[in-house]
Amino acid sequence: MNHVEMRITKFGGPQVFKATELGPEPMAADGVRIKVRAVGVNFADVMMRMGMYPEAPKPPFAPGYEVAGEVVETGPKAIGFKAGDRVVAPTKFGGYSTEVVLPYWQVRKTPQNLSHEEAAGVPVVLITAWVALCEMARVRKGDRVLIHSAAGGVGMAAVQIAADAGAEVIGLVGSEKKADFVRSLGAHDVWTTDRWMQSKPMELGGFDAILDSSGGPFLKHGFKYLNAMGRVVNFGMSSTVGKGFAAMRLLRFVTQMPLYTPIKLMMGNKGVFGLNMLQLATDPKVMTTAFDSVLKKLEDRRYKVILGKTFPLEQAGEAHEHLMCRGNLGKIVLTH
């Protein structure tokens, strides 16, 4: 059966998407064919559309890292799934589609208390936040943790995960109007990013862990606030996304990115991690631990997916425009 992908035809603005009908995805022996009902939209999708994501395929291609839907077919070596199962899975590109085929070990059954739209918000934001905080930063009870972009997708997940671990959570937001919402997720306090960036080193107290989504000057500033044995995890470069000439923003970002030598880290008793979940998406060991842990917390209602606006799959460009305006609160999802 043919399927439709929303493909990036060339690097550029949201208008570069084109609905493309293709033949059936080839079926693998260990594969699970999924009828996609919902797809998560992320900043990484925006960056690859703009030509700022070096690991992305050459156009034309469909972006998309996370899908939810129903199983329609399984290969002879696919274990644990049957037609009709509601499932959720990370993808390595290709999620903006009406159908995907993935290895069975990459797929999980959707918890009964989650809709397709909510499930599509799990693989990127919740797993990224969980790996950053639980595996890299090793956040535990009593830690003081700073979460950048706390009203964004990964940020909202991170606030919940750190609070659930017993940490004192401080969230950063672009405007005060989002502060009460971030507090409702478990943050002890919420500051604006401007207040944070204009503060002097240690003026606001030190941190045991910082989750940084922006990089550049934000990462440099945060490093000064780390306590001894503190850890900062940088997982993105969202400060390069916005209106205007992308190449200039990227160049400015690169020149402002701090460099950390082993001696500097040793003398400060501090650690810096870089996280690229795309590199880990096909690692069974990492994904099994992270995915299963997150889904169990969702089943137990310790975590929740915060949904924002949904768009039909064919309105992928409009969804990107909405995300770039940064006024959204909650996960943006494409539906089919």
Given the structure tokens 């009902």, which residue do they identify?
37
CATH number of the domain residue 85 falls in: 3.90.180.10
Residue 294 lies in a domain: no
Whether residue 83 sits in one domain with residue 151:
no
- The pLDDT score that the predictor gives to residue 240 is 47
pLDDT-derived band at 245, boundaries 50, 70, 90? very low
Orientation angle between helical segments 216-224 and 246-256, nearest 10 degrees: 20
Residue 287 lies in a domain: no
Is 1's pLDDT higher than 80? no
| Nearest partner of 316 among 293, 335, 292, 294, judged by Cα | 335
ω into residue 60 within 30 of 0, thus cis? yes
Q: Is 45 helix (H, G, I), strand (E, B) or coil?
A: helix
Whether residue 246 sits in one domain with residue 328:
no
Q: What is the mean pLDDT of residues 256-268?
A: 81
- The pLDDT score that the predictor gives to residue 50 is 92
Whether residue 171 sits in one domain with residue 257:
yes
- The pLDDT score that the predictor gives to residue 5 is 98
Whether residue 273 sits in one domain with residue 327:
no
Q: What is the mean pLDDT of residues 270-274?
A: 94
Residue 161 lies in a domain: yes
Query: Strand pairing partners for 33?
Result: 73, 101
Whether residue 138 sits in one domain with residue 115:
no
Residue 288 lies in a domain: no
Whether residue 105 sits in one domain with residue 157:
no
Is 237's pLDDT higher than 80? no
CATH number of the domain residue 154 falls in: 3.40.50.720
Whether residue 56 sits in one domain with residue 77:
yes
Whether residue 132 sits in one domain with residue 112:
no
Is 264's pLDDT higher than 60? yes
107-153 pLDDT, tens digit each: 999 999 999 999 999 999 999 999 999 999 999 999 999 999 999 88
The CB density around residue 206, as the number of other CB atoms within 10 Å, is 14
How far is the C-alpha of 279 from the C-alpha of 55, rounded, in Å?
A: 10
What is the SS3 assignment for 106-155? HCEECCCCCCHHHHCCHHHHHHHHHHHHHHHCCCCCCCEEEECCCCCHHH
Is 301's pLDDT higher than 50? yes
Is 274's pLDDT higher than 50? yes
- The pLDDT score that the predictor gives to residue 52 is 85
Provide the percentage of residues in the chain whose pLDDT is more than 90: 76
Whether residue 320 sits in one domain with residue 251:
no
Q: Which two tokens stand for residue 107?
A: 């797929």
Q: What is the DSSP string of 53-112?
A: -TTSPPSSB---SEEEEEEEEE-TT--S--TT-EEEEE-SS--SBSEEEEEGGG-EEPPT
Task: Give Rg (Cα) of the chain.
Answer: 20
Sign of the CA dihedral with 65 first, then 71, 74, and 77 last: positive
- The pLDDT score that the predictor gives to residue 250 is 54
- The pLDDT score that the predictor gives to residue 168 is 98
Give the up-direction half-sphere exposure of residue 233: CA atoms within 13 A in the CB hemisphere: 25
Lowest-pLDDT range, 18-22, 205-209, 314-318, 327-331?
327-331
Query: What is the rounded average pLDDT for all residues in the chain?
Result: 91
Q: What is the mean pLDDT of residues 217-226?
A: 92
Whether residue 164 sits in one domain with residue 240:
yes
19-78 pLDDT, tens digit each: 999 999 899 999 999 999 999 999 889 989 999 888 899 999 999 999 999 999 999 999
pLDDT-derived band at 283, boundaries 50, 70, 90? confident
Amino acid at position 13, single letter: G
Domain count within the chain? 2
Residue 296 lies in a domain: no
Is 230's pLDDT higher than 70? yes
Q: Which two tokens stand for residue 253?
A: 């970002």
How far is the C-alpha of 323 from the C-alpha of 155, rounded, in Å?
A: 15
Query: Strand pairing partners for 226?
Result: 207
Residue 56 lies in a domain: yes
Pairwise pLDDT comparison (94 vs 285), residue with the higher score: 94
Whether residue 271 sits in one domain with residue 130:
yes
Is 238's pLDDT higher than 70? no
Q: Which of 257, 277, 297 is the last residue of a domain?
A: 277
Whether residue 142 sits in one domain with residue 170:
yes
| Nearest partner of 138 among 208, 188, 187, 207, judged by Cα | 208
Q: Is 18 helix (H, G, I), strand (E, B) or coil?
A: strand
Residue 183 domain boundaries = 125-277
